[in-house]
Chains A and B, each alone.
Chain A
Amino acid sequence: RKEVEQDPGPFNVPEGATVAFNCTYSNSASQSFFWYRQDCRKEPKLLMSVYSSGNEDGRFTAQLNRASQYISLLIRDSKLSDSATYLCVVSLNAGGTSYGKLTFGQGTILTVHP
């Protein structure tokens, strides 16, 4: 079983749509969670961290369910510029002082069309 699993998609949605991505992780000792975004032929960049209580950044909402070892990302009011690959990322190390190896999922491709 892969350490981090994502539905690769692709997800094709119209502008203005709401879309949700899911991710599961296999190691229950995982402590830190992130969503990264990767544009075509570009390097990955941090989109947002995922906190236990859930967190929101504008149109983006991230949720964590430790019991189910499940992470989600919700994008509301999709824009053309949201088209990218969204990578779920997990680390075993606790936050704050000792991030070590970050494990990336396969990525979910999102295409937003007019």
Chain B
Amino acid sequence: DSGVTQTPKHLITATGQRVTLRCSPRSGDLSVYWYQQSLDQGLQFLIQYYNGEERAKGNILERFSAQQFPDLHSELNLSSLELGDSALYFCASSVSGSMQTQYFGPGTRLLVL
């Protein structure tokens, strides 16, 4: 158990819908990262937040957005969902915003029908 929690574990929804994925980092970690794992794209970095502020952005679609709250938990919002958004979404956390070991949560499996 990494100490990073993600909810829900599974999510099934329809095209065009909007969902919110939630992540709680390890106690004491200030940085949260979101990754998407799909069969065709592999594991890809989406976005990083550090202590409530966006720190780095990767291949995140404009339909996707994230935020980190004062209690340091983070949410990833996916809207106007398409079939191709079906994937495993991981959250990871690290102590600081500089290069540190990232500890991954169990992931949220999203299926868009």
Q: Do A and B come from one complex?
A: no
User: Which A residues contact B (CB, under 8 angstroms)?
Assistant: none
Interface residues, chain B, with chain A CB atoms under 8 Å away: none
